[in-house]
């Protein structure tokens, strides 16, 4: 059992602190936003994450998990201090480290005994050394400490499960003893533990996210080619995935990646590469293809409906992915903005992200459910693959719509079935609306 301080109660911090408490440790989770801490003490979570609320409540009742705004209280008996603050995108795509700096300075000013400081936030390569320098500089008197990088690999929507069943734990430090202490903390998770240096650990996080984003952009580019040639990208991806060297993960074509990690991490890695004199050509292409996928949805709507001015377009799903209320870099909202600029009347529905959308994208007219959204719509865009969208009553949907047009940005439905029901249907890379190539090599449309 260890005493742990977790700084930041966003997606990473709240999940990390709560799950370590569930392993039997005593955790104090700190945030400088008083309202957020007050709400947590009342059992009100700042995020939607399946299963998290129950784990928080269980560990608060067991007195293994507490919340505070006081660094002095949080660090008083701590063996470990996890920095889990946000690193938003800066002006040029770089990671903004202002909150990491604030956390490091506050740790230095309030620690009164030896401490292992763990960078959990996604930070540029070299940040571990930078944090160590800040703590040395800001300490009122010298107290031993060590900095360890322990990047997170949690997926929003399955973060609790990912914490307890990780593929690996990556640790980086110049202090082998400190790295071993953090390794011991993770032993109950029974996953491979890799110990390396600080910069390599930081780079593993960026390289992992960039590779996954690359897979998504790759299959989306293949989807666009499939559509032109009359092939079905879903079957192409399935056939590719049986190759053990490739696998099936992240080969689902659609509207592209979004969220709080992939977009900013790919940009940040590209920025780091450029300022150090290398040319990240592949990363640039990954980002360009990702944005192209949003435009493709709008182009499909224009191809079917013509001028979109005053057309009622319903967005089925607003969060960047299912099982989360996170709308950061959401493909759905990028599509919404493009439609709005073209004069369309943009409508939307999402099972949990509505409140966040209402606060940040006021021009979207929100519906109570998918059926209210369909009512009077000229077209629906399937933008987020929530389970509840996989078995909609399409006879009812069709009867409610002004025009039975569906652009399926997540390839949730069978094109032949949708067409048989009378819908004008477009997926992503399904081939049926592209050119068909005859055995003689001639192209037909």
| Alpha helices (runs of H) in 249-361, residue ranges in sequence order | 262-275, 281-305, 331-341, 354-360
- Indicate the angle between helix axes 98-110 and 127-138, nearest 10 degrees: 40
Residue 333 in tokens: 């909202």
Q: What are phi and psi of 254, to 5 degrees?
A: 170, -135
Catalytic-residue membership of 261: yes
Residue 405's SS3 state is strand
Contacts for 2 with CB less than 8 Å, ≥ 6 apart: 25, 26, 79, 80, 185
Closest CA to 196 of 170, 167, 177, 169: 170
Q: Identify the DSSP state of 103.
A: H
Whole-angstrom CA distances from 111 to 74, 98, 108, 136, 315 are: 10, 20, 6, 12, 49
* Residues 6+ positions from 228 with CB-CB distance below 8 Å: 434, 435
Give me the sign of the Cα torsion angle 163, 5, 86, 136: negative
374: Cβ contacts below 8 Å, ≥ 6 apart: 314, 380, 396, 397, 400, 401
Strands 26-30 and 115-119: unpaired
Q: Please state, as a whole number, how many other Cβ atoms lie within 10 Å of the Cβ of residue 301.
A: 24
Look up residue 185 and give its two tokens.
């903390």
- Which DSSP category does 62 fall into? T
Can you read off the two tokens belonging to residue 190?
A: 């029974």
Whose structure tokens read 């989360």? 324
Token couple for 201: 């650990």
Estimate the crossing angle of helix 281-305 against helix 198-229, to 10 degrees.
30
List, by residue number, the catalytic residues. 261
């Amino acid at each position: 059992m260890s005493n742990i301080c977790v700084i930041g109660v966003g997606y990473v911090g709240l999940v990390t602190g709560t799950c370590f408490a569930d392993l039997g440790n005593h955790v104090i989770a700190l945030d400088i936003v008083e309202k957020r801490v007050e709400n947590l003490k009342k059992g009100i979570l700042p995020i939607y994450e399946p299963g998290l609320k129950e784990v928080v409540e269980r560990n608060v009742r067991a007195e293994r998990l507490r919340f505070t705004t006081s660094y002095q209280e949080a660090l008083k008996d701590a063996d470990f201090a996890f920095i889990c603050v946000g690193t938003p995108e800066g002006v040029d795509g770089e990671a903004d480290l202002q909150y990491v700096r604030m956390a490091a300075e506050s740790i230095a000013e309030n620690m009164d005994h030896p401490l292992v400081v763990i960078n959990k936030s996604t930070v540029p390569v070299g940040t571990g050394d930078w944090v160590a320098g800040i703590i040395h500089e800001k300490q009122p008197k010298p107290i031993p400490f060590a900095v360890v990088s322990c990047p997170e690999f949690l997926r929003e929507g399955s973060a609790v499960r990912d914490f307890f069943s990780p593929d690996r734990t990556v640790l980086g430090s110049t202090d082998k003893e400190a790295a071993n202490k953090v390794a011991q903390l993770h032993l109950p998770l029974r996953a491979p533990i890799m110990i390396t240096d600080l910069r390599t650990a930081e780079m593993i996080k960026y390289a992992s996210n960039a590779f996954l984003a690359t897979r998504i952009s790759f299959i989306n580019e293949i989807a666009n080619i499939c559509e032109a040639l009359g092939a079905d990208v879903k079957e192409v991806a399935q056939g590719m995935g049986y190759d053990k060297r490739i696998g099936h993960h992240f080969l689902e074509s659609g509207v592209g990646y979004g969220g709080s990690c992939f977009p900013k991490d790919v940009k940040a890695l590209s920025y780091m590469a450029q300022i150090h004199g290398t040319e990240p050509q592949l990363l640039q292409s990954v980002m360009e293809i990702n944005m192209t996928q949003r435009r493709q949805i709008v182009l499909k709507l224009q191809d079917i409906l013509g001028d979109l001015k005053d057309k009622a377009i319903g967005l089925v799903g607003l969060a960047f992915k299912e099982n989360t209320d996170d709308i950061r870099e959401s493909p759905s909202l990028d599509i919404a903005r493009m439609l709005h600029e073209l004069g369309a009347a943009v409508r939307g529905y999402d099972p949990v992200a509505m409140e966040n959308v209402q606060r940040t994208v006021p021009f979207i007219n929100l519906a109570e459910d998918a059926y209210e959204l369909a009512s009077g719509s000229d077209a629906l865009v399937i933008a987020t693959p929530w389970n509840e969208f996989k078995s909609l009553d399409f006879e009812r949907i069709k009867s409610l719509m002004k025009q039975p047009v569906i652009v399926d940005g997540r390839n949730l439905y069978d094109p032949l079935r949708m067409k048989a029901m009378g819908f004008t249907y477009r997926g992503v890379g399904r081939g049926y609306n592209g050119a068909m190539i005859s055995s003689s090599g001639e192209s037909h449309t």
